[in-house]
Amino acid sequence: LMQHEGRSSRLRNGALAWHLLHDINQPGRFTELIVDGSWPDHLRRFNRSNAVELGLRERKRAFHMGSSPPRVTRHLVESKPV
């Protein structure tokens, strides 16, 4: 249920794709992969959080088992003209 809510929320707010990856080397570890069209699109989507989105974020963080906050990393696809 939480995964479906997360996917719906990301796509509703402009993400092009959403995936939940399960780390087979660390059974309790999951990574959320969100694809945005551009860096400005990502920033707009990230800064557009409303009360529903913030509530979902807090419910998802309740599953985190580490002593420090979840680590957030961002990656950019570097495309070069062919």
Q: Which amino acid is at 25?
A: N
Instruction: Report the alpha-carbon distance of residue 81 to residue 60 in Å, rounded.
Output: 39
Instruction: Report the alpha-carbon distance of residue 27 to residue 23 in Å, rounded.
Output: 6
Of 59, 62, 73, give the one whose Cα is nearest residue 6.
Answer: 59
Determine the pLDDT at residue 16.
92
Give the confidence band of 48 by pLDDT, cuts at 50, 70, 90: confident
Query: CB of 17 within 8 A of CB of 36?
Result: no
pTM here is 0.72
- Among 9-13, 34-38, 48-52, 63-67, the least confident range: 48-52
Res. 42: pLDDT tops 80: yes
Give me the chain's average pLDDT, please.
85
Res. 1: pLDDT tops 70: no
